[in-house]
Amino acid sequence: MPSNKPIIVVKYGGNAMTEEVLKQKVIKNICLLQNYGYKVVIAHGGGPFIKQALLQANIESEFIDGHRVTTPEALEHVEKALKGQVNGSLVKLINQLGYKAVGLSGKDGKIATAVKRMHKKEVEGNIEEHDLGQVGDVVSIDTALLELLLEHDYIPVLACLAADVDSNEFNVNADMFAGHLAGALKAEKFVVLTDVDGLMRDINDPLSLVSELRVSEIKKLEEEKVIQGGMIPKTEACEIALKNGARSAIILNGTEPEQLLAVGKREPVGTTIV
């Protein structure tokens, strides 16, 4: 008999990933969301760990407009960093806390199907396409395996890797991957952790926090440069989640773990997008 507990999908990343003490607090508070009556899913990237792994393997990282070009050789090391290092450590930590974690990537059980991503760039009025190598965009999510795990109180922990219908493998932007996941699971809340308190009208003024935002307002805020830099993929991921079935999305500060508990208690925190 399926339980009707709401689902919360947390996109985990930023400094909350690299500082050990903070990481433990954040993961503990994500797990505590189960105690507040949520089924919990975690999606993660691993930028700093990927960078380290590629350095150690002497693989030069090339970026086009901030997007990492991923060769088949690089993908092997990306996967080791994401699954072997990041995913493995999160699963261990969650299990140590007394919860039950299952480490997965989008490739497992064909959870995420992707297509190769071509990066489009406008140069002097012409659109140029750039090949990013083994970088993909999610086109569909199969939630069957995740629903099975959630039904039995497991916490699925997903690395942002996916394959296409011909089993070609891709690295996927973690924000986008998490957004697609939250949408397909019809999550009540999609929580994106970042290193600031949410979206600010003025990045230097904590009092300028935008506490609530409608999807229809995102474009205007991008034009006004309120949404810029690393906030662009975060708000884009929230948009993907909401358009595909998630109820609400929240951008909050992963370096302030108590903000997660506010979400559990259903208190307003960060920037909520509806």
Contact between 145 and 108 (Cβ < 8 Å): yes
- Report the CATH number at residue 16: 3.40.1160.10
| Antiparallel, parallel or unpaired: β 154-159 and 189-194 | unpaired
Q: Average pLDDT for consecutive 10-residue bins of the chain (274 residues)? A: 85 88 96 97 94 93 81 94 95 98 97 93 84 94 98 97 96 96 98 93 88 93 89 94 97 94 94 95
Burial 220-235 (b: 16+ CB within 10 A, else e): ebeeeebbeeebebbb
Whose tokens are 């809340």? That residue is 189
Q: Residue 2: its pLDDT value, please?
A: 58
In a domain, 112, yes or no: yes
Please tell me the pTM assigned to this model.
0.94
Strands of 100-105's sheet in order across: 100-105, 154-159, 39-44, 7-12, 189-194, 248-253, 271-273, 212-213
Specify if 1 maps to a domain. Answer: no
In a domain, 2, yes or no: no
Total tally of structural domains belonging to the chain = 1
**Residue 101: strand, helix, or coil:** strand
- Is 181 a domain residue? yes
